[in-house]
Amino acid sequence: MAYLIISWLISAVSLLIVGQIIPGFEVVSFGSALIAAIVIGLINATVGFFLKIITLPISVLTFGVFLLVINALMLMLASSLLSGFTVTGFWAAFFGAVVLAIVNMVFRSIIGTD
């Protein structure tokens, strides 16, 4: 249970950091980031999982770069469902997905969660 809470907090803080770095990617508050982290996780576990399976050949051909496109689409979907979390446009979502993956990776390596 502690691992789940730590992962949730890391995701929320990562969203806040991405909101400060990427233009067009806005997270209003820490509460909004917590809710967005849950919604993004649920979307990735359902719709995102299905899309990643269907687009596996494209992902292999592009050496995984297409997965960033799917992640960007998932961020845009979460943005359309939530207030307090806004992503304006595909490129903001795409670069947000890239930076989000990097920030998450750095935090998880510092804290020691895999």
Predicted local confidence at residue 1, as pLDDT = 79
Two structure tokens written together for 108: 């998880």
The pTM of the full predicted model, rounded to 2 decimals, is 0.88
**DSSP assignment, residue 114?**
-
Predicted local confidence at residue 17, as pLDDT = 95
pLDDT single digits (tens) 51-95? 999 999 999 999 989 999 999 999 999 999 998 999 999 999 999
- State how far the Cα of 11 lies from the Cα of 30, in Å rounded to an integer: 11
Which residues, in sequence order, are CB contacts of 47 under 8 Å at separation 6+? 74, 77
Give the SS3 label for residue 56.
helix
